[in-house]
Amino acid sequence: MEVVIVPDAKAGGELIAEAMAALLRRKPDALLGVATGSTPLPVYEALSAKVRSGAVDASRARVCQLDEYVGLPADHPESYRSVVLREVVEPLGLTEASFMGPDGTAEDVQAACEEYDRALPAAGGVDLQLLGIGTDGHIGFNEPCSSLASRTRIKTLTEQTRVDNARFFDGDIDQVPHHVITQGIGTILEARHLVLLATGEGKADAVAASVEGPVSALVPASALQLHPHATVVVDEAAASKLKLADYFRATFAAKPAWQGL
């Protein structure tokens, strides 16, 4: 696991966007796994700016969802399908044909989970999966004590996660669904490159537990320690509880430019 400490969210977004751009230059039809929420927005803004300037051609890129609410209509502004189309697909100049995600409105939700889990490897596998982290250490919607071998499935959200997400529903927690479809931790670990972005002091404890603590189902993001190519990008505030912060800074400063992220 590589830990990169950046000054702020904008710098983190630019760093990750350049890694995505470099991937697209090597593999124009790369499958990018995207996360939702406010944390990854600087990444999408920086990547779309590169596309607009001609620094990278994303016309053949493909995009896949990490998770989706169960029962929320696909055209609801806060369905993750709508969010990804609005924040990633459209700014990159892509069409819905380049996009894949689970069906949260399916009559048989479990079958939809299994279908999506099969669809990802059938599409060639996820080349780079962008992740956020919850204040309790969750990734995707794999809440604490999720199996580290779990596959795409239905999960019940914790009350804390629903409270955290209420801001996207006009602050009304009653509008936040109780259930989601999420890629499992085992599914996430199959991506070729995992990149986790965390910003703000509120994520500091979760980051420290995930990076420097034991691998544990209690802290789902700690599973990234098991991945051969995992990168954790954190701003100074999110890095504030890391005991090895100085080592991580020195390691990245000495990293050869050719090695990339």
Give the angle subtended at the CA of 94 by the CAs of 91 and 100, to the nearest 5°: 110
Active-site entry in 138, 164, 193, 235: 138
Residue 136 among the catalytic residues: yes
Residue 127 among the catalytic residues: no
- What is the DSSP secondary structure assignment for residue 149, as one 8-state letter? T
Residue 138 among the catalytic residues: yes
Residue 229 among the catalytic residues: no
Q: Where are the alpha helices (DSSP H) in the chain?
A: 9-26, 41-53, 80-84, 109-122, 159-165, 185-188, 204-212, 245-253
CB 128 within 8 A of CB 33: yes
Active-site entry in 67, 68, 103, 117: 67
Counting other chains too, the contacts that 242-246 makes at CB distance below 8 Å and 24 or more residues apart are 242/3, 242/5, 242/207, 242/208, 242/211, 242/212, 243/208, 243/212, 244/3, 244/212, 245/5
Q: At 155, give phi and psi (nearest 5°).
A: -130, 150
Active-site entry in 68, 103, 143, 164: 143
Active-site entry in 136, 164, 193, 235: 136
**Neighbour tally for 156: CB within 10 Å:** 13
The residues that are catalytic are 67, 136, 138, 143
